[in-house]
Chains A and B, each alone.
Chain A
Amino acid sequence: MRSRVRELREARAWSQAQLGERLEVSRQTVNAIETGKYDPSLPLAFRIAALFETSIESIFFPEAPA
């Protein structure tokens, strides 16, 4: 799954570790989400969306175009 997590994080000048702290996950998990190697669970996706004050579907996109 593709995501805009890196873009949104960098816009706020947060490091991966800082974002991880805010989401209560590790820096490695943030990195894996940003690189598309790990798809977050629905509760974590909601936490990410709430943190960036936007909707889940504006952050995460399916890999292949619909």
Chain B
Amino acid sequence: MILSPFRSLVAVALLLAGAALLLPRLVPGTPRDVGIILFVGALLLTVMAMAHRGADPDCDTASPALTRRYLRALMASMGAYVLVLAASIWLLKRVDPPLLRAAVALAPVLPIGFAVRAMVRYMRGLDEMQQRIELEAVGVASVLVSMLYMTGGLLQSARLVHVAGDVAMIWVFPLMCAVYGIAKAFVARRYR
């Protein structure tokens, strides 16, 4: 069976949805937010899968060498991020001096910086049409996420919703990445 983007995205979406449903039953005491986050993740991946449906299997025009280098760098950074984040959460419960706490809290930004560097190098290695697709997708993602946050801000000031500030700030980057992925699939269709 060929591992197309559509099948991979559907598989991961199903895994996330399954985890969202089973986790609270298997691990009692799991915060409700974890289930919601997993479920929203599954929903976003499903939309991405629908956007990729019927697409050319190599809808990304990057050369295999460039894609390999990018994925290797991205996976290493994200792996490091998970480890550093876990260590940071563990240490924050045990460290008191404010400066040290700031350093520990900000440590996960470093691997994210490497991931951003990998993204920039990947985009610079693309040909001009793909760079245009990336630019349009990033533009769409910036506008949509900004509008979402502005809408949320207005609803929050009217006391109709309540989202904790730290949660809202942490979700900017993952949301940008997810919306960019969805937007890219739609933008790329125009050039096919």
Q: Which residues of A contact B (CB under 8 A)?
A: 24-29, 31-32, 37-38, 40-41, 44
Contact = CB atoms under 8 A, between A and B. Distances in A.
Given A26-B61, A37-B190, A37-B191, A32 B127 contact: no
B130 interface: yes
Contacts of A27: 61
Contacts of A25: 61, 127-129
A32 B191 contact: yes
Grouping DSSP codes into helix (H, G, I), strand (E, B) and loop, the B interface class, with mixed when no group exceeds half, is loop
Contacts of A41: 128
A46 to B, nearest CB: 13
A31 B59 CA distance: 12
B128 A28 contact: no
A51 to B, nearest CB: 15
A27 B46 CA distance: 28
A17 B126 CA distance: 15
Contact of B128 (A31, A37, A40): A40
B192 A32 contact: yes
A31 B192 CA distance: 8
A29 B127 contact: yes
B19 to A, nearest CB: 35
28 contacts: A24-B127, A25-B61, A25-B128, A25-B129, A26-B62, A26-B63, A26-B127, A26-B129, A26-B130, A27-B61, A28-B58, A28-B129, A28-B130, A29-B61, A29-B127, A29-B129, A29-B130, A31-B192, A32-B191, A32-B192, A37-B190, A37-B191, A37-B192, A38-B129, A38-B132, A38-B191, A40-B128, A44-B128
